[in-house]
Amino acid sequence: MRWSDLVEGWPQVVIASVSVALAVMIALAVHHVLFAVLRRVARRTTNELDESLVTALGRPMQWLLPIVAALGVLRAQHFSDGLRGLENVQVGLVHTAVLGVIATLTWTLTRLVRFGVGVMLRRYDVSVSDNLQARRVHTQIGVITRIVNAVIWIIGVSIGLMTFESIRHLGTSILASAGLAGLIVGLAAQRTIGNFLAGLQIALTQPICLDDVVVIEGEWGRVEEITSTYVVVKIWDDRRLIVPFSTIIERPFTNWTRRNSQILGTAFIYVDYTVPVEAVRQELLAFVAQHEKWDRRVCGLQVTDLRERTVELRALVSAADAGKAFDLRCAVREHMIGFLSRQFPGSLPRVRIDAPEGASSEAG
C-alpha cells in the first residue's frame, strides 16, 4: 500500500477502523453478558456438567465472537475506486480473521473433546480398591483422546493452509511428491511411528493400565502416567522409570493387577530342623486372622525347601492389593520372628559342631 492511498482514503480508513473496534467491543460485551447468564443458570441446576460445559466454552468463545464480528465488518467495507492499496490491506485482514476463526474453532473442538472425556471418566473412580475397570477405561480414553486432539489440530492446520492461494496451487506438485516424502518421513521417524502404533495397540488390548502394579526392567512400581509414546512407572522409592511403548510390546514384563487387584504374598522363614511346624502354622493363622490387611482368602504355611542347615517355611497370605500385601508380608515376618524367639528359641537357625569321642579328654 502506498502512502498516498492512505492519505487520500483516510476518512474511509477511520470509519473502517472505528467500525471494527465497535464490532469487537459489542461482541465482547455480548460474550460477557451471555456467559454470565449461562453461568448463573448452570449454578442453579442440579447437574454439575452444565457449569463445566459453560466453563469449557467460555475462553474459546471470548476469542471467536470478536473475530467473527470483525470479519463480518471487514467484509462489508467498500473503498472508493483507485484505492487499490487499501483493498489489498482489507483482503489481508480478512484472511487473518479467517485464520483466527479456524484456529478458535479447532481450539473449541479440543476443549469439547476434553469436556466429553471428563464426563465419561467421572463414572469410573480409580480411588476405590477394586478399580480394574476404571483403570482400563482411563487408560484407553487417555490414549485415544491424545490421538483425537492431534487429528483435530492436523485438520485445522490443513484447512488454514488451504486458504493460501499459493499453497492451494501447489496441490498437484505435493501429490506427485507425496510418495517420496512419505517414504523419507517414514524412514526418519520409524521408531516414533512405531511407538505411536504401539500406543494404539496398548489402548485397544490393554496389557497395562493406569495404576497397575508392574515389574519392568527389574523394577517394581505402579503405572503413574501413560502418554502417547511412553509409560511412566513410579518405582517404590519414588524414582520414575520411563518405558517406551515399543519396550512394553516387545519385551515381557510382570503385571500383578492384570485381572484384578487381589494378590498373593509370600514370606519366607528359615529355621532349624527342630522347629514345630504345626505350632508355627497355627500361630500364623491366629495372627493373620486379626490383621486388617488380610482379605480372608488365602493363609497357609508349608515347608518348601530343605537345605543343609535350615528348613525353608513359606507363609502364603492374600490381600486386596499389592500395597496391602507388602505390608502384610512384612508384618508376618516380624511377628513370626518374635514368636519363634519367645516360644521356640532353639528353632532359630544355628550351626552344630560334633566333636569326635574322646576329643575333649585328649584336649584336657
Output the pLDDT for position 1: 46
**Which cell numbers hold the place of 113?**
473433546
Question: Residue 220 phi/psi, 5° resolution?
Answer: -95, 130
Q: Let me know if residue 250 belongs to a domain.
A: yes
CATH number of domain containing 333: 3.30.70.100
Question: In 3D, which of 25, 154, 13, 164 has the Cα closest to residue 77?
Answer: 13
Q: Let me know if residue 297 belongs to a domain.
A: yes
Q: Let me know if residue 168 belongs to a domain.
A: no
User: Do residues 58 and 100 share a domain?
Assistant: yes
Question: Residue 229 phi/psi, 5° resolution?
Answer: -135, -15
User: Do residues 211 and 102 share a domain?
Assistant: no
User: Do residues 304 and 239 share a domain?
Assistant: no
Output the pLDDT for position 285: 93
User: Do residues 104 and 18 share a domain?
Assistant: yes
Q: Let me know if residue 356 belongs to a domain.
A: no
Output the tens digit of pLDDT for each of the chain's 364 residues. Answer: 444 555 455 566 677 778 888 888 888 888 888 888 888 887 777 776 777 778 788 888 888 888 888 888 877 776 555 455 566 666 777 888 888 888 889 988 888 888 888 877 777 766 666 666 777 777 777 777 877 888 888 888 878 877 777 665 544 444 445 454 555 545 445 555 666 666 667 767 778 877 788 888 888 888 888 877 788 898 888 889 988 877 887 888 888 777 766 788 889 999 999 999 999 999 999 999 999 999 888 899 999 999 888 999 999 999 887 778 888 999 999 999 999 999 998 888 887 776 666 555 444 4
User: Do residues 216 and 116 share a domain?
Assistant: no
Cα–Cα distance for residue pair 251/272, rounded to 1 Å: 41
Contacts of 38 (CB under 8 A, 6+ apart): 54
Output the pLDDT for position 186: 52
Q: Let me know if residue 80 belongs to a domain.
A: yes
User: Do residues 249 and 330 share a domain?
Assistant: no
Task: Domain of residue 51: give its range.
Answer: 3-123
User: Do residues 269 and 235 share a domain?
Assistant: no
From 255, 281, 308, the end of a domain falls on 255
User: Do residues 229 and 282 share a domain?
Assistant: no
User: Do residues 202 and 268 share a domain?
Assistant: no
**Residue-wise DSSP of 35-86:** HHHHHHHHHHSS-HHHHHHHHHHHHHHHHHHHHHHHHHHHHH--PPTT-HHH
Output the pLDDT for position 330: 92
Residue 29 Cα to chain centre, angstroms: 38
Q: Let me know if residue 156 belongs to a domain.
A: no
Grid cell 469436556 — which residue? 115
User: For the chain, what is the domain count?
Assistant: 3
**Residue-wise DSSP of 175-237:** HHTHHHHHHHHHHHTHHHHHHHHHHHHHHHH-SS-TT-EEEETTEEEEEEEE-SSEEEEEETT
DSSP state at residue 253? -
Contacts of 211 (CB under 8 A, 6+ apart): 126, 131, 135, 222, 223, 257
From 123, 143, 164, the end of a domain falls on 123
Total residue length of the chain: 364
Q: Let me know if residue 37 belongs to a domain.
A: yes
Say if residues 233 and 224 touch (Cβ distance below 8 Å). yes
**Which cell numbers hold the place of 310?**
535350615
**Which cell numbers hold the place of 248?**
512394553
Long-range contacts of 118-122 (CB under 8 A, 24+ apart): 118/52, 119/49, 119/52
Helix (H, G, I), strand (E, B) or coil at 329: helix
From 123, 140, 161, the end of a domain falls on 123
**Which cell numbers hold the place of 273?**
530342623
Q: Let me know if residue 81 belongs to a domain.
A: yes
User: Do residues 329 and 280 share a domain?
Assistant: yes
User: Do residues 214 and 312 share a domain?
Assistant: no
pLDDT digits (tens, 9 = 90+) for 296-354: 888 999 999 998 889 999 999 998 877 788 889 999 999 999 999 999 988 888 877 76
Question: Residue 109 phi/psi, 5° resolution?
Answer: -65, -40
Task: Count the neighbouring beta carbons within 10 Å of the beta carbon of residue 348.
Answer: 15
Say if residues 147 and 117 touch (Cβ distance below 8 Å). no
CATH number of domain containing 194: 2.30.30.60
**Which cell numbers hold the place of 81?**
475506486
Element (H, E) at 304: strand 299-306
User: Do residues 274 and 317 share a domain?
Assistant: yes
Query: In whole angstroms, how far apart are CA 277 and each of 43, 280, 288, 343, 351?
Result: 66, 5, 16, 13, 20
Say if residues 152 and 109 touch (Cβ distance below 8 Å). yes
